Amino acid sequence: MGEARTVMDAMTRAMFDGDMERAKSMYSTDAIGVAPDGSEFKGGHEIVEFLSPFFRAFPDAEYQAIAQLESDKTAIDEGIFTGTHTEPMEALGGETIPPTNKRISMRSCDVATVEGGKITEHHFYFDMLSMLEQLGISPS
């Protein structure tokens, strides 16, 4: 196992353990995070701030890896995020989605570049429409 895989696994464990400070520490100070819609976040603080609403809204969140790949400085994770929506969720547009108490299963893929023991770039891909449909709040 190389550095990219080791760092990616440590960051994922930190997020699912609810240790946001440890997750932030896995990113370089100038790291770039890219959301599915192309929005960019700079530094570990902003990247973890982008991810945190999902973990607060789904406190029982789990991740099942389907495939984990590593090539040179890049780690790729494909998997399924599951959880029950029991807490309010802050949406990117600023609105709050009240708890639906529905359980979701959403496919996701993460691509992270690691240099010097820190994530320098992290792209997030997940099926937001499927999540909204499962919660019963999909846009028409």
Among 37, 33, 35, smallest CA distance to 47 is for 33
| Cβ atoms of 126 and 108 closer than 8 Å | yes
pLDDT at 81: 95
- Burial zone of 39 (CB within 10 Å; 0-12 exposed, 13-18 middle, 19+ buried): exposed
CATH at residue 83? 3.10.450.50
User: What is the pTM (predicted TM-score) of this model?
Assistant: 0.90
77 vs 82: CA distance, rounded Å: 15
What average pLDDT does range 95-124 have in this prediction?
Answer: 96
Angle, CA of 124, 73 and 24, to the nearest 5°: 50
| Cβ atoms of 109 and 19 closer than 8 Å | no
What average pLDDT does range 75-81 have in this prediction?
Answer: 97
pLDDT at 138: 76
User: Would you say residue 16 lies in a domain?
Assistant: yes
* Higher-scoring residue by pLDDT: 37, 94: 37
Which of the 8 DSSP states describes residue 140?
Answer: -
Total domains in the chain come to 1
User: Would you say residue 113 lies in a domain?
Assistant: yes
Render pLDDT for 24-39 as a digit per residue (tens, 0 to 9): 999 999 999 999 989 9
User: Would you say residue 83 lies in a domain?
Assistant: yes
Among 109, 29, 30, smallest CA distance to 63 is for 109
Domain that holds residue 26: 3-134
Q: Radius of gyration (Cα) for the chain, nearest Å?
A: 15
